Amino acid sequence: MNLPSKLLLVIPHLSGGGAERVMALLACGLSAQKYELHLALLTQAEPPADVKLPPWVQIHALGASRVRGAAMRLVRLARRIQPDLILSGIFHANFLVLLLRPFFPHGTHILVRQNGTVSSALDFGGLPWYTRLLYRLLYRRAEGVICQTKAMAFDLAQELKLPMDCISVLANPVDVEGIRASVAKFEPRKISDDHAPQLLAIGRLSREKGFDLLLGALALLRAEVPKARLVIAGCGPEEAALKAKCNALGIGEAVHFAGYLANPWAQFPDATLLVVPSRQEGLPNALLEAAAAGLPIVATPASAGLMELLEGQPGVWLAPEITAEALAASLLAALRRLQPGERFAHPFVEEFRMDRAIAAFERLIDQTIAAKP
């Protein structure tokens, strides 16, 4: 009887956004019969109480102050558990894992998951000048790179001069059934004749996510729909600036900053629609989770992959450009068309179901372990 393969999943922490949620779902969904599962949290001293993982997942909270500060702790962990494969889930953790590759046990395979469109991230700014060089040098050390869409894969191959045969396109796992069951437990607010539309946006409060554009769009929208309100779930470096902008635009009373929510699904029943106002984006998990719950979606054309998924879909309004004015016009078009509480099937979310997505990840993991490192 073959022993289970040892897998080490690596992320900074479990208190973040979509990338962290994907890795948590992988830890929950990967076969406990086929794999001995370990999860390394680089910058957490202990797992968060609000994230529940199965008892067979061994959590290693390394507690470094920064990702790069976890280097020696990660090397010691890998030498102790001797993993057959390391899977890293976000770009700065990917850099660390690939830099450390010579220090890991001989024969350790490495897969990295790219959680955004590389060219957009590099062109957008805010990253150190040497990031492009690190991408080009380090990603060649991995047995494979995982992208979420074909457009992301092609962009990565072009930008980093990587062969397409080392890039795999795998759908993010989304707990579609769990989301639907959870949402069904919540009672939505009563819908009356003067129903005030409630917009919902979820994500890190950083410039690339475009929440400043959304606030500008809301100010424009309220000229036509004065009762429109907005809930923003997330935290990040732009929070103070966004709150100041709310006050400057005179919409402070119409916007609620809910902070980081481990389970944003509780917001879905009361939401009229989900807004994705990003300037640049890969394929946000918040969008897929909202689609699983049937929410109408208004989004900017933030990436080719996003447009590829959403264009022409019922219950989806894509702004023609990434501006506050275009976003406001799309929001207005959606609100004029939607009935209170209206929901959509969003069949495109089916490919992201846990069983399908996890099976695809397991096939890639098994093929990688079977090959020579």
**pLDDT tens-digit map of 17-73:** 777 888 989 999 999 999 999 999 999 988 777 677 899 999 999 999 999 999 999
What is d(CA 46, CA 346) in angstroms, rounded to the nearest whole number?
37
Considering the entire predicted model, what is its pTM?
Answer: 0.89
**pLDDT tens-digit map of 67-121:** 999 999 999 999 999 999 999 988 889 999 999 999 999 999 999 999 888 887 7
Residue 158: alpha-carbon gap to chain centroid: 23
What is d(CA 181, CA 161) in angstroms, rounded to the nearest whole number?
44
**pLDDT tens-digit map of 208-263:** 899 999 999 999 999 999 999 999 999 989 999 999 999 999 999 999 999 988 78
What is d(CA 167, CA 150) in angstroms, rounded to the nearest whole number?
10
- The answer to whether the beta carbons of residues 27 and 39 sit under 8 Å apart is yes
Give the ranges where the chain is alpha helix by DSSP (H): 18-29, 71-81, 91-99, 118-124, 131-138, 150-160, 176-185, 211-221, 239-249, 285-292, 304-310, 324-337, 354-370
Confidence tier at 326 by pLDDT (50, 70, 90): very high
Residue 192: alpha-carbon gap to chain centroid: 34
How many of the other CB atoms lie within 10 Å of CB of 293? Answer: 22
Task: Supply the angle between the helices 285-292 and 176-185 in degrees, to the nearest 10.
Answer: 60
Does residue 188 register a pLDDT over 70? no
What is d(CA 112, CA 80) in angstroms, rounded to the nearest whole number?
21
- The answer to whether the beta carbons of residues 370 and 190 sit under 8 Å apart is no
148 or 373, greater pLDDT: 148
| Domain architecture of the chain: domains with CATH | 5-173+353-370 (3.40.50.2000), 176-351 (3.40.50.2000)
